Structure 1
Amino acid sequence: MIALIRYTLATTIHGQRYLAPVLLFCAGVGISSGSDSGPLPGVYALNSGILLVCATWLTMAVISVEDPTHRAITVVAARGPVKVLAATIAVSALFAVGLTIIGLGLPLLMNPRPITAADLPAGALAHLLCASLGLAVGLLCSRLVIRRQGYALLTALALVTAALLTTGSPPNTLFKGMANTNKATDVLPTAAALLPIGLAVLAVAAVITHVISIRRD
């Protein structure tokens, strides 16, 4: 499994399709971090929203690195599609964790703000929640599920927009709490409670993607 993850990561880096979402995230975080945009929880909420978009794009890019023929060869070599899909999710998660570190650290470097013991944990949980949901949307909108790229893009945009703007959704609930408080301790319990929901959504999306891809293959 480790060898398959290394292969997927090397193929992704060689294909360079990860560059656009990574650069978009760095640019967005740089803009939010460099301005006087208020307390740290609000900045982390904004960065998490950017991560949701970029994690979706990254996951779709990682899956699209190999064309169907090469993917079929990889599936045979790996002795099953489950391992290939798991490696894809693992590589996408590695990129998302790297972006999370940037999203947490850059605001502290570019525009020093007062920081409390709860700021980083709350920010990390918000980023991980959005990363999980972004991976889930990316899986469901990848070519394993939606073959036509135009439809996949429109579906991804609709799902990401709904996740960010729909009242009561996990990201929207957390963002409102973080934007309306100066103390991360007020939202830390909410962030901790919402993260398992994001992980559960990712697990369900992985199962759906696997079932649909198997039937189509």
Structure 2
Amino acid sequence: MTALLRYQTGLLLRSQRWLAPLLLYAAFLGVGVNVGEPVLGALGLTSAALLPVTAWSVRICATQEPAAARNVVAAAAGRGRAHLAALVTGAALPVLVGAVAVLAVTATGDRRGVTALAATTTGLLAAVACALTGAVVGALVSRPFVRAPGWSFAALVLGSLLALVTTGSPAKHAMTALITGARTATADPPWLACAGAVLLAAATAIAACRATARLE
């Protein structure tokens, strides 16, 4: 699995396709987050912006291989394992970038009434919840479920929006915790949202890998 992750990471970095979602995330933060604003509100936007960015990144990794190369890798390592490596690679980069952003926002935001540790913990858990929810969206709108590029991207946009506003979504639960905390100046780490996102992402990855093995 380590070799597959290195292979997928190398493909992603050499293709420079990671630049587009990264620049989108930077634009979200540049427009929506200001130095010195209440930290929990800023962390809410920092985390929420990760959802569409991660969905886009996962879609890129799931579709970046040429068909011939994909068949060679599948023959060597198994189609399901190869697809899992693509999904993990697509989610890992936004999670790392989001963690750095959370630390930066916590360091520069107004933490009155909230300790640095509480703000950091809350922000990191919310970021993971949103990123993994975005990974679920990205996995469901790419191969083997949606093959047409146009429909795939349209589904990505719609799925990302629904994941942020639908009751029961881990991302919405995490955002609600941050919004409530911003109003009361009380950090409430969204442990349940993060755990739910982990379980949802794992179940989606299993389903996607099994579908890939059967349909491709």
Length-normalised TM-score, structure 1? 0.89
Q: CA offsets, 1:113-150, max 9 Å, x none?
A: 22512100000000000111111111111132211111
Aligned twin of 1:23 = 23
Pick closer, same or farther for the CA change 1:17–1:175 going to 2, 3 Å: same
Aligned twin of 2:211 = 212
Q: Is the 8 Å Cα contact of residues 25 and 54 (structure 1) preserved in structure 2?
A: yes
Structure 2 residues not aligned, in runs of 5+? none
Equivalents in 1 of 2:73, 2:66: separation in Å? Answer: 11
Residue 184 of structure 1 and its aligned partner are, at CA, apart by: 6.7
Residue 50 of structure 1 and its aligned partner are, at CA, apart by: 0.5
SS in structure 2 opposite 1:180? helix
Q: Is the 8 Å Cα contact of residues 142 and 152 (structure 1) preserved in structure 2?
A: yes
Residue 179 of structure 1 and its aligned partner are, at CA, apart by: 1.5
Equivalents in 2 of 1:137, 1:124: separation in Å? Answer: 20
Length-normalised TM-score, structure 2? 0.89
Equivalents in 2 of 1:71, 1:203: separation in Å? Answer: 22
Equivalents in 1 of 2:101, 2:120: separation in Å? Answer: 10
Equivalents in 2 of 1:118, 1:186: separation in Å? Answer: 6
Residue 21 of structure 1 and its aligned partner are, at CA, apart by: 0.3
Residue 53 of structure 1 and its aligned partner are, at CA, apart by: 0.6
Residue 108 of structure 1 and its aligned partner are, at CA, apart by: 4.2
Q: Does residue 119 of the first structure (1) align with residue 119 of the second (2)?
A: yes
Structure 1 residues not aligned, in runs of 5+? none
Aligned twin of 1:200 = 199
SS in structure 1 opposite 2:207? helix
Pick closer, same or farther for the CA change 1:121–1:108 going to 2, 3 Å: closer
Equivalents in 2 of 1:42, 1:170: separation in Å? Answer: 18
Equivalents in 2 of 1:210, 1:112: separation in Å? Answer: 41
AA aligned opposite 2:198: L
Equivalents in 2 of 1:66, 1:19: separation in Å? Answer: 17
Q: Does residue 99 of the first structure (1) align with residue 100 of the second (2)?
A: no
Equivalents in 2 of 1:99, 1:62: separation in Å? Answer: 16
Of all paired residues, the percent bearing the same amino acid is 26
Q: Quick one: which of 74, 85, 90 aligns to 2:83? A: 85
Q: Is the 8 Å Cα contact of residues 53 and 134 (structure 2) preserved in structure 1?
A: yes
Aligned twin of 2:75 = 76
Q: Does residue 145 of the first structure (1) align with residue 142 of the second (2)?
A: no
Q: CA offsets, 1:10-39, max 9 Å, x none?
A: 111111111100111122123333355x42
Q: Is the 8 Å Cα contact of residues 4 and 84 (structure 1) preserved in structure 2?
A: yes
Residue 71 of structure 1 and its aligned partner are, at CA, apart by: 0.7
Aligned twin of 1:8 = 8
SS in structure 1 opposite 2:146? coil
Pick closer, same or farther for the CA change 1:161–1:103 going to 2, 3 Å: same
Equivalents in 1 of 2:81, 2:166: separation in Å? Answer: 34
Aligned twin of 1:44 = 43
Tell me the C-alpha RMSD between the 2 structures: 1.9
Pick closer, same or farther for the CA change 1:118–1:84 going to 2, 3 Å: same
Residue 180 of structure 1 and its aligned partner are, at CA, apart by: 2.7
Deviates more, 1:82-91 or 1:50-59: 82-91
